[in-house]
Chain A
Amino acid sequence: MELLDHLALGFEVALTWQNLLFCLVGALLGTLVGVLPGIGPATTIAILLPITFELPAVGALIMLAGIYYGAQYGGSTTAILVNMPGESSGIITALDGHQMAKQGRAGVALAIAAIGSLFAGTVSTFFIAGSAGTLSELGLMFGPAENVALMVLAIVAVMVMGKGSVLNSLVMVLIGLSLGLIGTDVETSKARYTFGIQELRDGIDFIPLAMGLFGIAEILRTLETPGNGELVRARITGLWPKGADLKASALPILRGTGVGTVLGILPGSGTLLASFSAYMLEKRISRMPERFGKGAIEGLAAPESANNAAAQTSFVPMLTLGMPSGAVTALMIGAMTIHGISPGPQVVTQRPDLFWGVVC
């Protein structure tokens, strides 16, 4: 069983005490920053990127992945308790989650969110492990022309799936390309757009750019609405869900995981599409759809599971083809290049420790 060998290798890498520590620190820091109102996973990763800089590549990516789950989890916590989601998919979580919190069931809501996420995470990990081999084999057939086509697809997908007008996103893409031009041209070593500034010779550094675009800009947006992030009214009682709660959310978690796993692979879709679809699905098949938006536990369990499943499977195109599918995976790609790993299908075969270590 090749798959089992791979998973064994992955756990061997991931279970070394350094990597466990990196993962733990990442998850804690991710939750810590992600829990801050108005700060989503992409922003959290951007803010915390410098910490991983000094680590070895495997540890850095494991820590970044930890930061990502932590941020996701922290974001759900804020969405449920304060009704202030840090990212778009948290809006769905807040719909029923915050209502539950208002009814004094915040503890149950948080626990269900966590249990759903863990289940979704388990399923999608196996999914990634199973699909990685095939995809990276396909990726190895890629020449420069196929790579170009794949990159074009990734950019188009992000443009189309994001919110706002496609033309505006096109402007953003072109500006991003322009900023990427700054520095020394690899082939001819001619300086481009450095305007004689010494520091620009190596190009704009990706970390401060991401931190500014996501971190600082997001903080300024949050400041626009005074009083933001300062209301915690929900009281937490009874953390453990009752048997009835678990029973009611079991099937929604299952369905949400399925929806999220599939939708997460699509480039550019991110987690919003997944949690939204899962929510709508539950609402449609529910016998009492009017309960949704008023604290229905299915309306929390399904999108939270979908969200987490999609968050994990969105790593598939990144790890197997080297293709980022959104802000988070773009940040991870940036981190990989900083550590001297050129992302692409060869990562699976050349650095199996890295690939499987991150997956486990």
Chain B
Amino acid sequence: MVRDFFVAALAAAFALILLTFGSHLPMGTALRMGPGFVPRAVGIGLLVVAAAIALRGFLGLRRRRAVASGEPPIQWRGAASIGLGVLAFAVLIQPIGLIASAIVTVFVSSLAQDGDRIGERALLAGGLSAVAGAIFSLGLGLPLPMLPAFL
């Protein structure tokens, strides 16, 4: 299965990061383990499992070449709009405050699905932002920046 190669690659990538960026950490002795002991163990473990999964992938490929997967297509659009929506919140919350960044986040993440016109999405964004402001700041009293910092 092709999926196996992706999983193997993922494991190998984590292993390489662990081993490369952890090479300066002292191993210590078995009696007094240093901070580098566990990272190396995990890294080597990941390499071994990656090899095993890649092997399984090869065997699986040979057995049945074309497997019609029953999986629905990947939600690129959902991932992109929700990802961007959340990212926008991360970037905007400190400079422009909760109200404005909530509008952006809701609007962008609503683009994940069909069914609304632009105006309806904007309305949803405004409404949810107001509700969120009311609940979190007024209701729960969380110390969130509400308005843009420059106001």
Interface residues of chain A, those whose CB is within 8 Å of chain B, are 51, 167-168, 170-171, 174-175, 177-178, 181, 185, 187-188, 190, 192-193, 195, 216, 219-221, 223-226
Give A174 to B38 CA distance when docked, in angstroms: 11
Give A188 to B11 CA distance when docked, in angstroms: 28
Residues of B within 8 A of A225 (CB): 72
- The 14 listed contacts between A and B (C-beta, < 8 Å) are A167-B52, A167-B56, A171-B53, A174-B11, A174-B46, A174-B49, A178-B46, A188-B34, A192-B22, A193-B22, A216-B86, A220-B78, A223-B113, A224-B72
Residues of A within 8 A of B147 (CB): none
A171-B49, A175-B11 known; A223-B35 Cβ under 8 A: no
Give A185 to B86 CA distance when docked, in angstroms: 30
B111 nearest CB across to chain A (Å): 12
Q: Which of A171, A195, A224, A226 contacts B21 (CB 8 A)?
A: A195
Residues of A within 8 A of B74 (CB): 224
A222 nearest CB across to chain B (Å): 9
Q: Is the CB of B14 within 8 A of A216?
A: no
* CB-nearest residue of chain A to B83: A216
Q: Is the CB of B82 within 8 A of A216?
A: yes
Q: Which of A51, A181, A187, A220 contacts B75 (CB 8 A)?
A: A220
Give A238 to B78 CA distance when docked, in angstroms: 40
Residues of B within 8 A of A221 (CB): 75
Q: Is the CB of A174 within 8 A of B42?
A: yes
Asked whether any CB of chain A lies closer than 8 Å to the CB of B45, the reply is yes
Q: How many residues of B contact A (CB 8 A)?
A: 33
Asked whether any CB of chain A lies closer than 8 Å to the CB of B146, the reply is no
Asked whether any CB of chain A lies closer than 8 Å to the CB of B39, the reply is yes
A218 nearest CB across to chain B (Å): 12
Asked whether any CB of chain A lies closer than 8 Å to the CB of B10, the reply is yes
Q: Is the CB of A167 within 8 A of B42?
A: no
A189 nearest CB across to chain B (Å): 9
Q: Is the CB of B75 within 8 A of A223?
A: yes
Residues of B within 8 A of A168 (CB): 7, 53
A37 nearest CB across to chain B (Å): 14
Q: Is the CB of A193 within 8 A of B21?
A: yes
Give A225 to B71 CA distance when docked, in angstroms: 10
8 new A-B contacts, CB < 8 A, other than A223-B75, A224-B73, are A167-B52, A174-B14, A178-B39, A181-B39, A187-B35, A220-B78, A220-B82, A223-B78
Residues of A within 8 A of B11 (CB): 171, 174-175
Give A192 to B24 CA distance when docked, in angstroms: 10
Give A181 to B86 CA distance when docked, in angstroms: 26
Asked whether any CB of chain A lies closer than 8 Å to the CB of B18, the reply is yes
Q: Name B55-92 residues within 8 Å CB distance of A.
A: 56, 72-75, 78-79, 82, 86
Q: Which of A175, A219, A223 contacts B14 (CB 8 A)?
A: A175
Q: Is the CB of B10 within 8 A of A171?
A: yes
B137 nearest CB across to chain A (Å): 14
Q: Is the CB of B35 within 8 A of A188?
A: yes
Residues of B within 8 A of A224 (CB): 72-75, 78
Q: Which of A171, A187, A190 contacts B25 (CB 8 A)?
A: A190
Residues of A within 8 A of B112 (CB): 223
A6 nearest CB across to chain B (Å): 34
Give A225 to B73 CA distance when docked, in angstroms: 9
Q: Is the CB of A185 within 8 A of B53?
A: no
Residues of A within 8 A of B18 (CB): 178, 181, 193
B63 nearest CB across to chain A (Å): 15
A192-B39, A193-B21 known; A170-B14 Cβ under 8 A: no
Give A351 to B14 CA distance when docked, in angstroms: 39
B39 nearest CB across to chain A (Å): 6
Per-position contact with A for B1-43: 1 when CB-CB < 8 Å, else 0?
Answer: 0000001001100100110011001000000001100110011
Give A174 to B10 CA distance when docked, in angstroms: 11
B113 nearest CB across to chain A (Å): 7
